[in-house]
Amino acid sequence: MQLADERKKRLAEERRAVLEYLALKALAGRKDVLNALYDYLVNNESPSQASLKHGVQKAQLKSAAYQLVSKARAPLVVKLMKLAWPLIMEIEPIVEDGYCKICKAPIHTNHAEPHIAVKHQDLIKKTALEIENKLREQIKRKKALKAQAPN
Ligand SMILES: [Zn+2]
């Protein structure tokens, strides 16, 4: 019983960490890196292929993939990416045209991630939590549909 609880807790922490990482990339406006990550980790394209396709440096893609799979086991990362992708892609970047929309600080796109990670941690957490809640609702709805279906 206790072991099952601990496993559940660990899974929840891993899930949160993955969603926060994906949310940070999206808030920083790095859909290019996100799409390259998807092709690499979910569609099993090679890092060279995926990085070339999305105009991302191969080293950058590899380091992002490494950070992601260090947060959770690879099968969980892949499963979450598949489930959450439409929601991740809907996230509006907060750094655009050289400015942070929240605190109005001038920020170069290359520095968007550290800026958001340091100054807007609460927004990362909030965004990840919203995605998590939406995923939970989706799963509930699917289960309800299944229960309704004859046989
Ligand atoms: Zn800011």
Can you give the residue ranges of every domain in the chain?
2-148
Instruction: Work out the pLDDT band at 13, boundaries 50, 70, 90.
Output: very high
Q: What are the tens digits of pLDDT across the range 129-139?
A: 999 999 999 98
CA of 122 to the centre of ligand 1 (A): 12
pLDDT of res. 151: 58
CA of 126 to the centre of ligand 1 (A): 15
Report the alpha-carbon distance of residue 120 to residue 132 in Å, rounded. 19
Averaged pLDDT, 40-51: 97
Percent of the chain, pLDDT > 70? 98
CA of 41 to the centre of ligand 1 (A): 30
CA of 9 to the centre of ligand 1 (A): 32
CA of 123 to the centre of ligand 1 (A): 10
pTM: 0.92
Could you give the 3-state DSSP secondary structure of residue 99?
Answer: strand
pLDDT of res. 99: 94
Burial 91-121 (b: 16+ CB within 10 A, else e): bebbbeeeebeeeeeebeeeebbebbeeebe
CA of 116 to the centre of ligand 1 (A): 6
CA of 29 to the centre of ligand 1 (A): 13
Of residues 20, 25, 16, 17, the one with CA closest to residue 93: 25
Q: Which residues pair with 96 in a beta bridge?
A: 99
Averaged pLDDT, 102-113: 92
CA of 48 to the centre of ligand 1 (A): 33
